[in-house]
């Protein structure tokens, strides 16, 4: 059998590292790699390593065979199952919070022969059977074209079936001693050849919600790992998730990620602050002592609000939140948010005076308006028709505020559509309110805030983290029953 010289082995390791990014220091997997190449050279009837290198440089087919020989192919169904539980929890939360349809975009960056991509799809198919509003697309890539070809076929030995939980086997068809992934599932996955260190911007078109890159970075050195992670953060939307293998990690201080749980990393919101015009800068300087804080949000709002209101300072003016959410979840959402903020959750099912240190959220299918009577401000529910397709509507709350004499802070956070934009503009035009909108970089969906920004409705545009700190800086120090000045 053909044998590589030590110098040829070193040249082979250098070539593998250049092509794949995997670190070839030490002895890890080296014997296997050398044996694979030595066997291939012998099978081809070549008499030197130099001739083999010349062949793979000229022959694309042989180059693809070479890539297959130097690639690690360890994969199986539902590998590291806690990650699939995390995916299920995260997707369920997003579906429940979304006011309308939800479309997810996922990349599995080293898909091998496809089991990981199909495992993800099976989880999403199961959720979509309960929530038809959910749709998804999966991009799955691998440097090895042989593995990609197998993945595209979606055909596997029947012995692998035991690794697939029963509840997901409705996505397969058994044919003799093999099983096939159903075409309806395969159609939602785009398999292609590529290195995870390639620039994939043209592949995805839009930002991704999840990236799976598991048990790959263990073969990378620190520099290549950082390079890969920085590419991942380029593709992920704000608050998107990067899921690595359980034994993998990286220095988060050099990235835009923070550890969530179970080797899952969340993309931190990126902050962008837009300059105000000179007249608006004057408004920021003279504004003080807000009597109300009113916040509107839709898709992605619950999570943005948790960040915004966590450990809110007291005493503080009443905080009113208009969140597009299914009525059956309203009260539990309100109580959870109040507990997180450290505020008192106030009942909004009847007209009541607005009190300090209180959080006011609709507990059901009704609008919330703010009214002014005898120098007092009240929160008032109503069953008026839907506004912008929603009840409660952010516009209804914001516009009602613009008809009072109260000094308010109005904040429009992430959300789909245009609800709240017109109302925020009316608040700004009163010259008694300071208005804010979340920026694109930190929004899950940049619909509502974008509409407000384009209308010129926001004095300040920034991340929800920045806006939260700014609002806290304006909070009153002494609160009672709120009077309209």
Task: Report, as residue numbers or ranges, the catalytic residues.
Answer: 298, 324, 419
Residue with tokens 């369920």: 92
- Rounded to whole angstroms, the Cα distance separating 259 from 243 reads 10
- Token pair in block for residue 314: 């007291």
- Rounded to whole angstroms, the Cα distance separating 16 from 32 reads 13
Of 273, 249, 253, whose CA–CA distance to 262 is shortest? 249
- Rounded to whole angstroms, the Cα distance separating 19 from 353 reads 68
> What is the radius of gyration, based on Cα positions, of the chain?
28
CB-based contact 359:329 (threshold 8 Å): no
- Rounded to whole angstroms, the Cα distance separating 448 from 324 reads 12
Instruction: Count CB-CB contacts under 10 A for residue 380.
Output: 16
Burial of residue 409, with CB atoms counted within 10 A of its CB: 0-12 exposed, 13-18 middle, 19 or more buried: buried
H or E element that contains 470? helix 464-474
Q: What angle do CA 130, 133, 136 make, to 5 degrees?
A: 95
In Å, how far are 7, 56, 189 from 52, measured between CA atoms?
A: 15, 6, 35
HSE-up of residue 101 (Cα within 13 Å, Cβ side) = 4
- DSSP assignment of 438-464: E-TTT-SSBSHHHHHHHTT--SEEE-H
Tell me phi and psi for residue 415, to 5 degrees. 170, 155
């Amino acid at each position: 059998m053909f044998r590589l010289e030590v110098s040829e082995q070193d040249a082979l390791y250098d070539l593998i590292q250049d092509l794949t990014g995997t670190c070839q220091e030490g002895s890890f997997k080296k014997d296997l790699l050398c044996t694979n190449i030595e066997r291939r050279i012998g099978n081809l009837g070549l008499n030197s390593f130099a001739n083999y290198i010349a062949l793979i440089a000229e022959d694309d087919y042989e180059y693809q065979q070479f890539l297959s020989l130097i690639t690690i192919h360890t994969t199986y169904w539902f590998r590291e199952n806690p990650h699939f539980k995390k995916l299920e929890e995260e997707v369920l939360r997003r579906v429940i919070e979304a006011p309308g349809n939800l479309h997810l975009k996922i990349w599995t960056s080293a898909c091998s022969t496809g089991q990981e991509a199909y495992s993800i799809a099976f989880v999403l198919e199961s959720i979509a059977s309960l929530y038809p509003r959910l749709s998804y697309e999966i991009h799955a890539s691998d440097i090895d074209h042989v593995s990609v070809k197998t993945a595209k076929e979606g055909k596997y030995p029947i012995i692998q079936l035991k690794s697939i939980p029963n509840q997901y086997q409705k996505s397969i068809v058994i044919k003799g001693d093999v099983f096939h992934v159903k075409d309806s599932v395969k159609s939602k996955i785009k398999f292609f050849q590529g290195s995870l260190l390639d620039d994939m911007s043209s592949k995805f078109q839009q930002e991704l919600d999840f990236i799976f890159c598991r048990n790959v970075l263990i073969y990378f050195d620190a520099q290549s790992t950082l390079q890969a992670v920085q590419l991942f953060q380029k593709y992920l939307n704000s608050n998107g998730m990067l899921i690595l293998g359980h034994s993998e990690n990286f220095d988060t201080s050099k990235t835009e990620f923070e550890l969530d749980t179970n080797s899952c990393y969340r993309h931190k919101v990126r902050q962008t602050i837009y300059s105000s015009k000179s007249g608006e800068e004057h408004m920021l300087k003279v504004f003080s002592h807000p009597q109300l804080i009113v916040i509107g949000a839709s898709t992605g709002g619950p999570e943005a609000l948790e960040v915004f209101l966590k450990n809110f300072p007291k005493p503080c003016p009443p905080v009113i939140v208009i969140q597009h959410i299914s009525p059956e979840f309203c009260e539990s959402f309100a109580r959870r948010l109040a507990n997180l903020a450290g505020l008192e959750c106030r009942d909004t099912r009847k007209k009541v005076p607005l009190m300090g240190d209180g959080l006011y959220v609709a507990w059901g299918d009704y609008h919330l308006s703010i009214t002014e009577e005898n120098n007092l401000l009240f929160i008032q529910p109503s069953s008026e028709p839907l506004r912008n397709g929603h009840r409660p509507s952010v516009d209804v709350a914001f516009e009602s505020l613009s008809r009072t004499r109260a000094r308010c802070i109005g904040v429009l956070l992430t959300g789909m559509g245009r609800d709240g934009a017109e109302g925020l503009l009316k608040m700004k035009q009163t010259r008694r309110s300071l208005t804010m909108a979340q920026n694109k970089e930190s929004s899950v969906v940049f619909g509502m805030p974008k509409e407000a920004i384009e209308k010129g409705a926001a004095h300040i545009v920034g991340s929800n983290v920045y806006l939260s700190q700014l609002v806290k800086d304006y909070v009153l120090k002494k609160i009672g029953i709120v009077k309209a000045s």
